[in-house]
Structure 1
Amino acid sequence: MIACYARNGLEENALELFVLALMEDIRPTEFTLSCVLGSAAVFLPWEQGSQVHSLVVKSGFESDYVVASSLVEMYSKYGLIDSALNIFSNMSTKDLISWNTMIMGLAYNGKEVESLRIFEKLLESGLHPDHITLSGVLLACNYGGLPEEGMTIFSSMEKEYGIIPRNEHYAYVVDTIIRAGNIEDAISILETMPHKPSAALFSESVLRTCGHLENLELIERVTKRMMDLEPQSSLPYLVLAHAYEQRGKWESLVRVRNVMEKMPTKKIVGCSWIGLKDHVCAFESNQMIQHGGKDVYLILRLLMQEVQDENYPLQIIDI
C-alpha cells in the first residue's frame, strides 16, 4: 500500500501509512524503507529525511544496495550531493540502478563533469548501460553546455549500446543544441525523428527560440506541429502572433488572436509546502489545505483589524 501511494504521487499518504505501521510495531523491510525514502525526498524537509536514514541504520539495511540507492536518490534530491556520493562510494555492491541514480543525481546538482566520470567508471565495471543511463549522460551534457559530447553520445546510442533513442533522449540533445545557438539544427533533428515526437520535445525553449528566427516559414512549421501535438497550449499561438506582428502581417495576426480567444483556458493550480519542526504545512493556490487553515486566516483578519485600529494606513484585502 505504501508503494502504491508512492508510485502514484501520493507521498504524504505513503508517509502517514508508514508512521501508522511503526505505531503498530510492524518492522519495516528493505522494500518499505526504499519506498519511504523516495517519498521523503519529495515531501519531507531534509532533517526528517535524515531521521529515516537513521532508521535505516538502526534496522540494519544500510548495506542493502536497493536501500542504499534510495538513500543516494534522496540526498541528491535534497541537494546534498556529497552525502549521496559518500553513500555511493561505500556501497559494496552496485547494480545498474545505483549507477544510474548517481549519474542523474550529479547531473541535476550541477556536477556534469563528475557525472560523465561516473559513466566512464560504469563502462569500466563491465555493466551495460540502459536508456536511463544515457538519459542521465545527455542531461549532464545539456546542463554542462557540452553539445559536441552530447551529439557524439546520441549518435552512437544504437550502434555502441544497442539502445534506440527515445523522446527524452531527443529532448536533451535538442535542448543542448539550442543552448549552443543552433536552433535550425535542433529543428532538423526533430523533423527527422523515426517516430512521432511528444509535445515535450517542442518545448518552451524550442518555441521561444523560434520567435527570434528570421525564417517565418520555419516558425509556422514548428508552431503548427506544436498545435497538433498539444491543442490546449497557448504558447505556439503566442509565438506565431509575435512573429506576424514583427513582420506587419496584420491579417494573419488577427486570425491567430481570434483562435486564441476561442481557446478554453486551463488554470494550473500551484502547490507549495514548508516544514516547521515536525509539521509540514501545505498551500494550494491561496488556500491552506492543512488542518486549521481557517483559524489561521481568522487570526490574520483580527491582527489586520488591530493594526487598523492603531490608525496605521492599511488596506485590508479579502482573502
Structure 2
Amino acid sequence: MISGYVQNELFIEASSLFSEIWAQGFLPLTATYSVLFGAAGATANLDLGRQLHCILVKTQYEFDLILENSLISMYAKCGLIDDAYNIFSTMASRDLISWNSMIMGFSHHGLAKETIKIFEAMLESGSHPNSVTFLGVLSACSHVGLISKALELFKSMRDIYRIKPGLEHCVSIVNLLGRAGRVEEAEEFVRSLPFEPDCAIWGALLGVCGFSETGAEIAKHAASKVLELDPKNSPAHVALCNIYAARGLHMAEQKLRKEMGLKGVRKVPGCSWIQLNGRVHVFKSGDKLHPQADEVLSLLFGISDKSYKRNIPFRL
C-alpha cells in the first residue's frame, strides 16, 4: 500500500500510513524503508529521511545493500552529499546501483572532479558502467565545461562499452558544446546522430543558441524542427522570442509573439519552492495568491533595481 502511494506521488499518505504501522507495533520491512527513502529524496524532505534513518539505527543492527543504496540516494537528493558519501565509503560491498547513486549525487551537485574520481574508482573495482553511469559523468562534465573529457567519455561509451547513447546523453553533449559558445559544433553533433533527433534534442540546441553571437539562424532552424514535431511547444516559442530580443530582432520577436497568440500558445509559468520551518512554500511566475506575495515582489523589485544599477542582467 505504501509503495502504491509513493508510485502515485501521494507522499503524505505514504508517510501517514507508515506512522500508523509503527504506532500499532508492527516492524516495517526493509523494502518499506527503501520506498520511503525514495519518497523523501523525490520531495527533498530531509526531516522525513532523517526520522526514518534514526528509526532504522535504533531497530536494526545491520543495513543491507538495498537500504544503504537508498540512503545514499536520499541524502544526495536532499542536498547532504557529504552524508551520502560517508555511507558510501563505509559500505562492506557495493553494486552498480551503489556506484551510480554516488556518481549521480556528485553530478547533481556540480562536483565534476569528484564524479570523475568515483567513476574511475568504479572501473578500477571491476564494475562495468551502464547508461545511467555515463549520464552522470557526462552531466558533470557539462556543468563545468569539460568538453574534451565529455567527448572522450561519449566515444568510449559507444566504442568500448558498446552502450547505445540515449536522448539524455545527447542532450548533455549539446548543452556542453552550446554553453561553451560552440553552437555550430553542437548543431553538427545533432545532425550527425544516427537516429532522428526528437523535440528534446532540438530543444536543447535551441536553448543554447543564446550563448553564441551567430546563433540566431541555428535557433530558427532548431525551433522549426521542434515546432514541426510539436506545433504548440511553448518553451520553443519562448526561447526563440528571447533570442530574437537579445539580438535586437524586435520585428521578428513581435511576429512570433503574434503567431503564438493565434495558435493559442501560452507560456508555462515558472515555479520554485523552498522548505521553511517544516512548511513548503511554492511560488509561481505571476502568482499573487501567496499570503506574502507583496513582500516577495517588493524584495524582487529591490534586487532588480540594484542589478540594473550595477549593469547585471536580471529577469523577473
The gaps in structure 2 that reach 5 residues or longer are 293-316
Task: Write the letter of the residue equivalent to 1:272.
Answer: W
Larger Cα-atom Rg: 1
- Cα gap change, 1:152 to 1:80, in 2 (>3 Å): same
Q: Secondary structure at the match of 2:275?
A: strand
1:105-120 map, 5 Å: 105-120=105-120
Measure the CA separation in 1 of the matches of 2:268 and 2:237. Answer: 17
Measure the CA separation in 1 of the matches of 2:206 and 2:145. Answer: 16
* Residue range with higher mean Cα deviation, 202-211 or 96-105: 202-211
Measure the CA separation in 2 of the matches of 1:234 and 1:132. Answer: 29
Measure the CA separation in 2 of the matches of 1:268 and 1:9. Answer: 22
Mapped contact 1:45–1:275 kept (Cα < 8 A):
no
Q: TM-score, normalised by structure 1?
A: 0.78
Q: CA deviation at 1:168?
A: 0.6
Task: Write the letter of the residue equivalent to 2:35.
Answer: C
Measure the CA separation in 2 of the matches of 1:269 and 1:258. Answer: 21
Q: CA deviation at 1:60?
A: 1.5
Task: Write the letter of the residue equivalent to 1:84.
Answer: A
Q: CA deviation at 1:228?
A: 2.3
Measure the CA separation in 1 of the matches of 2:239 and 2:78. Answer: 36
Q: CA deviation at 1:12?
A: 2.4
Measure the CA separation in 1 of the matches of 2:254 and 2:231. Answer: 19
1:272 counterpart = 2:289 = no
Task: Write the letter of the residue equivalent to 1:141.
Answer: C
- Cα gap change, 1:128 to 1:259, in 2 (>3 Å): same
Task: Write the letter of the residue equivalent to 1:67.
Answer: L
Measure the CA separation in 2 of the matches of 1:223 and 1:20. Answer: 52
Measure the CA separation in 2 of the matches of 1:29 and 1:283. Answer: 34
Q: CA deviation at 1:90?
A: 0.8
1:174 counterpart = 2:198 = no
1:86-97 map, 5 Å: 86-97=86-97
Q: CA deviation at 1:117?
A: 1.0
Measure the CA separation in 2 of the matches of 1:243 and 1:115. Answer: 33
Q: Secondary structure at the match of 1:202?
A: helix
The gaps in structure 1 that reach 5 residues or longer are 289-296, 301-319
Measure the CA separation in 1 of the matches of 2:16 and 2:196. Answer: 41
1:207-226 map, 5 Å: 207-210=207-210, 212-214=212-214, 217-226=217-226
- Cα gap change, 1:240 to 1:81, in 2 (>3 Å): closer
- Cα gap change, 1:89 to 1:233, in 2 (>3 Å): same
* Residue range with higher mean Cα deviation, 32-41 or 97-106: 32-41
Mapped contact 1:213–1:219 kept (Cα < 8 A):
no
Q: TM-score, normalised by structure 2?
A: 0.79
Mapped contact 1:69–1:97 kept (Cα < 8 A):
yes
Partner residue, 1:194: 194
Measure the CA separation in 2 of the matches of 1:240 and 1:274. Answer: 33
Q: CA RMSD in A?
A: 2.9
| Highest RCO, 1 vs 2 (Cα 8 Å, sep ≥ 6) | 1
For residues 243-273 of structure 1, give each alpha carbon's deviation from its aligned partner in whole angstroms, at most 9, with x where no partner exists.
Answer: 77858795x6665343211132265484635
- Count of matched residue pairs: 287
Q: Secondary structure at the match of 2:160?
A: helix
1:131 counterpart = 2:128 = no
- Cα gap change, 1:153 to 1:49, in 2 (>3 Å): same
Partner residue, 1:233: 233
Partner residue, 2:77: 77
Q: CA deviation at 1:76?
A: 0.9
Measure the CA separation in 2 of the matches of 1:280 and 1:247. Answer: 43
Q: CA deviation at 1:80?
A: 1.4
Percent identity of equivalent pairs: 31
Measure the CA separation in 2 of the matches of 1:193 and 1:165. Answer: 10
Partner residue, 2:3: 3
